């Protein structure tokens, strides 16, 4: 059981990240049929949904794309922002999906946003508490750390419908605008599905880590 849990913790996220990177690199090199950049696609989708006030900003890095509900800003990595690739269309549309969720007060997005301060705190404290529990041989302290880790697990669980729903909205918006040509559809689906799987992998890895710590702590009693 311990070996299985370790494999889940270490291997599953690596496989998911590898899938994201390979699909991203593949379709970042394939020009989209509409000959538009990620920025242009984002602006079209936002304007069609009455979100012209949402800014689209270029940020550095790779796969650093995200929507900030507090600032009402979509941040696209430089390649997604500038290039006319299938990956640019998929990622930009996905982030617009989050902006639409925000406008419509999508419940899971609101709940996830409300949890951010709590999760930021518990994620920093949990590992310290667990470590101290093992060092001091104090089992109850380990359980407190595990309980704190459950906040991160809940956050990741809530993130799953948020991300899958944003991808579904992205595909719908692209179809309504006529931005999905038949030859682009497969690539767009692969980019979006691979990205969503990273969240599934993260959830499984965190769940496995919590279960492993619980079993180790129980066996030490």
* pLDDT bucket at 146, cuts 50 / 70 / 90: very high
> pLDDT value at position 42?
97
Give the SS3 label for residue 138.
Answer: coil
Q: Could you say which of 40, 82, 83, 95 is catalytic?
A: 95
The residues near 146 (Cβ < 8 Å, ≥ 6 apart) are 126, 130, 210, 213, 214, 217
Q: Is 25 a catalytic residue?
A: no
**Residue ranges of domains in the chain:** 2-220
Per-residue pLDDT, 15: 93
Q: What are 168-200's pLDDT values in tens digits?
A: 999 999 999 988 888 899 999 999 999 999 999
Alpha carbon of residue 141 to chain centroid: 31
Task: Note the Cα 156 to chain centre separation in Å.
Answer: 9
Q: What is the pTM of this model?
A: 0.91
Tokens standing for residue 195 = 């990205």
Residues 50-87: tens digit of each pLDDT: 999 999 999 999 889 999 999 999 999 999 999 999 99
């Amino acid at each position: 059981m311990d070996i299985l849990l370790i494999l889940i913790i270490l291997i599953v996220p690596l496989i998911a990240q590898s899938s994201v990177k390979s699909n991203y690199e593949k379709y970042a090199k394939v020009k989209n049929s509409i000959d538009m950049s990620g920025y242009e696609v984002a602006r079209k989708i936002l304007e069609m949904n009455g979100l012209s006030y949402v800014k689209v900003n270029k940020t550095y890095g790779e796969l650093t794309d995200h929507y900030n509900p507090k600032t009402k800003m979509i941040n696209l990595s430089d390649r997604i922002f500038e290039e006319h690739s299938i990956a640019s269309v998929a990622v930009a549309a996905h982030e617009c999906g989050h902006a639409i969720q925000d406008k419509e007060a999508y419940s899971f997005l609101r709940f996830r946003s409300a949890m951010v301060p709590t999760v930021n705190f518990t994620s920093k404290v949990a590992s310290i508490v667990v470590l101290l529990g093992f060092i001091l041989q104090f089992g109850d302290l380990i359980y407190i750390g595990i309980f704190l880790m459950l906040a991160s697990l809940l956050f990741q669980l809530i993130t799953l419908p948020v991300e899958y729903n944003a991808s579904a909205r992205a595909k719908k918006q692209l179809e309504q605008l006529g931005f999905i040509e038949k030859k682009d559809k497969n690539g767009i689906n692969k980019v979006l599905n691979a990205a969503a799987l990273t969240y599934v992998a993260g959830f499984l890895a965190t769940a496995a880590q919590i279960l492993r710590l619980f079993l180790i702590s129980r066996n030490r009693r």
